[in-house]
Chain A
Amino acid sequence: MNIVAPTLEEIEYVIDMPEVSYSPPAFTVTTVPIEHNLCGALVYKAYYDSTEIAADEEFLSYSGSGGSLTAEFLDKATYGYLIDTTVPYSLTAEFANWPSATNPTVSTSTATSDVLYLDPCDHLTTFTPATQDNIPDDTYSGTEFSWNLIEFTVVPTFCIPTVTYTISNVSGPSLLRTEPNGTHDYTSFFTNYDLTLDSDSTGPADGELLVSASQSHYDNQELAPGTYTFTLMCTDQKGNSVTTTFTWTLLDPCLNPTIVQYEWDPYYLSYTISDTVYVPYVSYTWEPSFCRQTMTYT
């Protein structure tokens, strides 16, 4: 005659989350030499941290008679100290008609496991990106544009300080003039931002990205005209991340330039058949002046 305990699972409870119930497997009875149930039913007791628990307890409740165990709601403010700790719990069984107190040799059995208290900021209930503003279009004016972070939705809200932001990728148009349809990774170019919300006073403001494009960026092929897609990544303290994007478009300032021809004094443009004269080159200006230009005569 033997009472066989089941294997109990670890009860994981995330602090500040709703209660969690667990129904443990049943204890079984084995008999020899024959199979029978002459010994009657089993009775159970549950223990939390070595203290017998009842139906309605502060940490772990027990419905009794082999029923479910319930890890009760614990708010973070009061019970945050439990995060990342384990507390043992157990179930014992014995025959109702043959209590061990009066039958020292009778079979009893105990199954043990733990209640593991988890960090709610590792188990966000809501973690979604917020739509970000795009940066206004520019034509390499040199104007500095300020983009400001719109924080993602993080629940529980007390976990907001635990998430971090970064611009994980910036993809833009190809730098190569010969590859108008290609792309280029500009991540290392756009680094003038502060997405650490720590109220520091250096560099850009918290949550701010500063960008600018000048003529030299165009000339030196550091920023090509086209749309730049910034990938904004938010990561929780457990390493889970969500992303969203925003864009910045640089327009080609050399598209449809302004060409103004300079008119020479007609005296210089008349030729009387006689000898060699030199006709001045046609003079003109083009805007923006940093655009490349070539001229051919016909």
Chain B
Amino acid sequence: MKLPDGSHLTERVTPINSTVNVPTYYDVPQTNLLVQNITVKNPCVDPLYVTMFQDPTMPVPYDYEYVIGSPPTQIVYINFEPLILISGEFLPENCGTVDHALYYNDTLVTPNSLTVFSIPGTTTLQVYTTDISLTHQTGIYKI
């Protein structure tokens, strides 16, 4: 059995019906329906087939320093492409595009965020603040 790639991506259970006929001596049919379910799984959520991870040889920028009150500073926060492991004949394109989200101190970064905000359509963030109370504090961003 081979199911088409793609169409899909939602796990579902498909019954396979089998009809068993045990006729009487005089060939009078006696049918019994047997149902066997096959579960079709989504490879995009199965680590056996698709796994996305960061290439350790290409770390994101870290330990960036910003002087409070200085002009906005841009940081390209993604300088790598996620790698995808592929198992079997399945094409990873069928899983759709890879999306990113940026968090700063566990808060989603948007163009309207304070201190650290994103630039729409780019993988670049900017840092700008005049809040002197942040002096010597460390913020953690993650992707």
Question: Residues of A at under 8 Å CB distance from B?
Answer: 177-178, 180, 218, 224-225, 252, 254-257, 259, 261, 264, 266, 269-279, 281-282, 284, 286, 291-298
Q: Report the minimum CB–CB distance from B16 to chain A (whole Å).
A: 7
Does B2 have its Cβ within 8 Å of any Cβ on chain A? Answer: yes
Known: A252-B25, A255-B30, A257-B30. A275 touches B89 (CB 8 A): yes
Contacting residues, chain B, for A294 (C-beta < 8 A): 20-21
A282 adjacent to B18 (CB under 8 Å): yes
Contacting residues, chain A, for B88 (C-beta < 8 A): 274-275
Closest to A261 in B: B34
Q: Report the minimum CB–CB distance from A2 to chain B (whole Å).
A: 83
Closest to B20 in A: A295
Known: A180-B26, A261-B34, A272-B46. A295 touches B1 (CB 8 A): no
Known: A224-B25, A269-B37, A271-B38. A295 touches B18 (CB 8 A): yes
B49 adjacent to A274 (CB under 8 Å): yes
Known: A273-B43, A274-B43, A274-B90. A259 touches B27 (CB 8 A): no
Known: A273-B5, A277-B1. A286 touches B20 (CB 8 A): yes
Known: A270-B39, A271-B40, A272-B49. A286 touches B22 (CB 8 A): yes
Closest 10 CB pairs of A and B: A274-B88, A180-B26, A274-B90, A270-B39, A272-B41, A275-B88, A259-B32, A282-B18, A282-B36, A275-B89
B39 adjacent to A271 (CB under 8 Å): yes
B1-25: CB near A (< 8 Å → 1, else 0) gives: 1110110100000001111111111
B34 adjacent to A284 (CB under 8 Å): yes
Q: Is the interface of A mostly helix, strand, loop or mixed?
A: loop
Contacting residues, chain B, for A297 (C-beta < 8 A): 16-19
A275 adjacent to B20 (CB under 8 Å): no
Contacting residues, chain B, for A275 (C-beta < 8 A): 2, 88-90
Contacting residues, chain B, for A276 (C-beta < 8 A): 1-2
- Contacts between the two chains (Cβ within 8 Å), count: 119
**A-B CB contact pairs (8 Å), 24 listed:** A177-B25, A178-B27, A180-B26, A218-B25, A252-B26, A256-B30, A259-B20, A259-B34, A270-B38, A271-B38, A272-B42, A272-B43, A272-B46, A274-B87, A275-B89, A275-B90, A277-B1, A277-B2, A279-B1, A282-B16, A286-B20, A292-B23, A294-B20, A295-B19
Chain B interface residue count, CB cutoff 8 Å, equals 38
Contacting residues, chain B, for A259 (C-beta < 8 A): 20, 22, 32, 34
Closest to A276 in B: B2
Contacting residues, chain B, for A264 (C-beta < 8 A): 36
Does B84 have its Cβ within 8 Å of any Cβ on chain A? Answer: no
Having A270-B39, A275-B88, A291-B22, one finds 10 other A-B pairs with CB under 8 Å, namely A178-B26, A269-B36, A269-B38, A270-B40, A271-B39, A274-B49, A274-B88, A281-B18, A286-B22, A296-B21
Query: Complex Cα distance A298/B21, Å?
Result: 13
Chain B residues 72-114 with CB under 8 Å of chain A are: 87-90, 94
A273 adjacent to B39 (CB under 8 Å): no
Does B48 have its Cβ within 8 Å of any Cβ on chain A? Answer: yes
Q: Report the minimum CB–CB distance from B30 to chain A (whole Å).
A: 7
Contacting residues, chain B, for A278 (C-beta < 8 A): 1
B20 adjacent to A177 (CB under 8 Å): no
Partner of B18, one of A177, A273, A296: A296
